[in-house]
Structure 1
Amino acid sequence: MAGLDGVERPWQHGGATAARWVPSADDEQALKALELYGDPTVEEVRLPSRPESAAIARRLAQCVVMRTWGLGPQIAEDVILLVSELVGNAVRHTGARAFGLRMTRRRGGRIRVDVRDPSRGLPCLMPVRPMDVSGRGLFLVDKLSDRWGVDLLPRGKNTWFEMRVSDR
């Protein structure tokens, strides 16, 4: 299903409009992740650089977006997908032992997600063709976020995206 921005979202469920987070069985795992790893809105959460950390980051993002910030399911789906993409890139491409996840709500109705890792290798936005089976991560970040970028740090980099949520 394509959204108003023309981006295909096959994972979307039609018509969900709940504005507040209501726990379900799946959400218990999200709450457990928050308890075990910490709240990325309070301080940077350190996660091990393993494939299963993408699922942990998705659960943390779900808690933050729906429970803490009270945003609807559409924005939650987009944020969760983009968090997963940035975390997946950090796990796959940096060779790091761990990375950091931070989520902030900013003035002007914006949210920002930061994934910090010790590699100074820059991510590259590549053209995507319909039959490609990989390499879509930054393409999705570029299409679904309002802004994204990479800040080089003395030891590593911070890859981030921002989304306006006040008018969505």
Structure 2
Amino acid sequence: MAGRGGFEQSQRFGTTAAAWIPTPQDQRDANTLDLLGNPSVDEIRLTSRPESASTARRLTLAVLRLWQLPHLGETCELLVSELVGNAVRHTGARTFGLRMLRRRGWIRVEVRDPSRGLPCLLPVRELDISGRGLFLIDKLSDRWGVDLLPRGKTTWFELRVVDR
């Protein structure tokens, strides 16, 4: 009998074993990562255009499902959009890099661009129509920051993960 999450219970030699069966979403994720690259393996270079936020979100969600962390999808999707939006709007770069890292208890999403201009967390007022990106990152992530590089910077956020 097929279960949720692409797992099936099978009876073999008197024991029960869980066998992984790929779902259609697993196949779409694999196709996305094969086509665009896997930001959990190498930094993925994207063009500095507003449409790249959609690509970054797709890659982020695919990696989270690969890591079996789909419950972090909505938050990561929003936060990566904000990082990408800042890189596209404020750096003047032609491309930027997306990278995702996982270590025990944490995931980290990084956007690297060639500008050394630091992002600034500004106070947000109720009627503001822009300028909420870093405010959201500050409120929704567990940690965030900027690492200056010899040529550019990496802006990142981290979310705590309960390892099972």
Question: What's the TM-score bracket when you normalise by the shorter of the two chains?
Answer: 0.7 to 0.9
Match of 1:56, SS?
Answer: helix
Match of 2:55, SS?
Answer: helix
Q: Partner residue of 2:96? A: 99
Q: Partner residue of 1:115? A: 111
RMSD of equivalent CA atoms: 1.9
**C-alpha distance in structure 2 between counterparts of 1:154 and 1:36, whole Å:** 30
Match of 2:88, SS?
Answer: helix
**C-alpha distance in structure 2 between counterparts of 1:105 and 1:152, whole Å:** 21
**C-alpha distance in structure 2 between counterparts of 1:150 and 1:99, whole Å:** 15
Q: Partner residue of 1:152? A: 148
Q: Is the CA contact (8 Å cut-off) linking 1:33 and 1:56 kept in structure 2?
A: no
Q: How many residues align?
A: 143
Q: Partner residue of 1:82? A: 79
For 2:34, the aligned partner's letter is E
Q: Is the CA contact (8 Å cut-off) linking 2:61 and 2:70 kept in structure 1?
A: no
Instruction: Select the structure that is richer in strand.
Output: 2
* Most deviating of 32-41 and 44-53: 32-41
Q: Partner residue of 1:72? A: 70
| 1:140 maps to 2:139 | no
Shift of 1:32: 4.4
| Higher normalized contact order (CA 8 Å, seq sep 6+, divided by chain length) | 1
**C-alpha distance in structure 1 between counterparts of 2:160 and 2:125, whole Å:** 28
What is the correspondence of 1:10-49 to structure 2 with a 5 Å cutoff? 20=5, 23=24, 28=28, 31-49=30-48
Q: Is the CA contact (8 Å cut-off) linking 1:62 and 1:80 kept in structure 2?
A: yes
Q: Which runs of 5+ in 1 are unaligned?
A: 1-18
For 1:153, the aligned partner's letter is L
Q: Which runs of 5+ in 2 are unaligned?
A: 7-22
**C-alpha distance in structure 1 between counterparts of 2:96 and 2:138, whole Å:** 21
Q: Percent identity?
A: 68
**C-alpha distance in structure 1 between counterparts of 2:68 and 2:111, whole Å:** 22
Q: Is the CA contact (8 Å cut-off) linking 2:32 and 2:62 kept in structure 1?
A: no
**C-alpha distance in structure 1 between counterparts of 2:91 and 2:156, whole Å:** 15
Relative to structure 1, is the Cα distance of residues 23 and 142 closer, same or farther in structure 2, using a 3 angstrom cutoff?
farther
Match of 1:143, SS?
Answer: helix
**C-alpha distance in structure 2 between counterparts of 1:162 and 1:153, whole Å:** 19
For 2:116, the aligned partner's letter is R
TM-score, normalised via structure 2 length: 0.81
**C-alpha distance in structure 2 between counterparts of 1:115 and 1:147, whole Å:** 15
TM-score, normalised via structure 1 length: 0.79
